[in-house]
Structure 1
Amino acid sequence: MREKTVSKKENLFVASRFVLPEHRETYIRIKAEERRYIPPELDEEQQAALSEEVWRAFQSGSGVAVTYYDGQSPKRRVGCVVHVDQASRRIKLKAGEEAVWIPFDRLLHVQMGATS
Structure 2
Amino acid sequence: MSKKLEGNGFWESSRIILPEHREGYLRLMKDRQRRGKPELDDQEVQLIEQALIESYNTRTAVTVTVFSPFDDTDMTGVVTSINTARREVKLVRGEDDFSWIKLEDIISVNTLITQYTAI
TM over 0.5: yes
> Contact (CA 8 Å) 1:65, 1:114: kept in 2 or not?
no
Alignment of 1:12-31 (within 5 A): 31=29
Superposed CA RMSD in Å reads 3.1
Structure 2: runs of 5+ lacking an equivalent: 1-11, 16-21, 115-119
Q: Percent identity?
A: 26
| Runs (4+) off by over 6 Å | 24-27
Cα distance in 2 for residues equivalent to 1:91 and 1:81: 7
Q: Which amino acid aligns with 2:87?
A: R
Alignment of 1:28-47 (within 5 A): 31-47=29-45
TM-score (normalised: structure 1): 0.69
The structure with the greater share of residues assigned to strand is 1
Change (3 A) 1:71 1:102: farther
TM-score (normalised: structure 2): 0.67
Change (3 A) 1:29 1:99: closer
| Greater C-alpha radius of gyration | 2
The question of 1:61 aligning with 2:59 is answered yes
The question of 1:82 aligning with 2:80 is answered yes
Q: Which amino acid aligns with 1:88?
A: R
| Total equivalences in the alignment | 101
- What's the CA shift string for 1:50-70, capped at 9, x where partnerless? 111111111110011111124
Structure 1: runs of 5+ lacking an equivalent: 1-13, 18-23
